[in-house]
Amino acid sequence: MKTKVIMVRHGETEWNVLCKFLGSVDLPLNEKGRRQAGYAKEALKEEPIDVIYSSPMKRAYETGEIIRGDRALPVRTDDGLREICCGAWEGLDGNEVEEKYPGQIALWGSRPEEIRIEGGDTFQEVSERITDAFWRIVNENRGKTILITSHMICLTLLMMRFEGRAVNELWEVKPIGNAALNIVEVSEDDKVEITAWSDDSFVPEEDRKGSALVAGRNYAEE
């Protein structure tokens, strides 16, 4: 029996709008972010969701609550689903980071495996953390349909693991939009099949926003 895992990036926050590095700063959704979560709720209304897990951060937890709707399920939190901590960069936009730490934005965009932000996580640490959390949750809920609400960087790194990609390929894959669905099916022998990657086709164009996390552009939309 397969285990289905539906992973959703949180809706928009005000710092996403301002292109500030958000990371571990615990901001709630803005009005648009709540609408985006509502679209995901509608898209998943027929899904027989058995359990819900979320990052403990407000923006992800609120997204999980909105998608849950009237299902009689708790939204459980797991620290392994938290977003990357950007340390000294948090609250800054890309231009401000470049002013304070010359050359680091270019390194972030071209060789993310090598970036070491003061007081922050490395991409490899986040990749290992989210992967551990994923398998812990799957092993506790075999054969069920699981909803996970989390964040762009950690979900992208997890999906890349499933494809056997290296961290340095981070900016080469499809960016995960706000409230986008990422769906995998896990077989009994732990083979993972990706059936959706950043599907936000259900979000109206006016409420959809392309990710800023692409090399050569702004990098602050975690």
Question: pLDDT digit of tens for each residue in the chain (222 aa)?
Answer: 999 999 999 999 999 999 999 999 999 999 999 999 999 999 999 999 999 999 999 999 999 999 999 999 999 999 999 999 999 999 999 999 999 999 999 999 999 999 999 999 999 999 999 999 999 999 999 999 999 999 999 999 999 999 999 999 999 999 999 999 999 999 999 999 999 999 999 999 999 865 444 433 444 444
Query: 189: buried, middle or exposed (CB in 10 Å: 19+, 13-18, 0-12)?
Result: exposed
Cα–Cα distance for residue pair 107/111, rounded to 1 Å: 5
Which residues have a catalytic role annotated?
A: 10, 83
Query: 63: buried, middle or exposed (CB in 10 Å: 19+, 13-18, 0-12)?
Result: buried
Beta bridge partners of 147: 6, 52
CB-hemisphere CA count at 13 Å for 129? 20
Measured in whole angstroms, the distance separating CA 46 from the mean position of its chain's CA atoms is 23
CB-hemisphere CA count at 13 Å for 150? 32
How far the first Cα of the chain sits from its last, in Å, is 34
DSSP-assigned states of every residue in 95-163: HHHHHHSTTHHHHHHH-GGG---TTS--HHHHHHHHHHHHHHHHHHSTTSEEEEEE-HHHHHHHHHHHH
Dihedral sign, CA of 88, 94, 96, 100?
A: positive
Residue with tokens 């990357």: 84
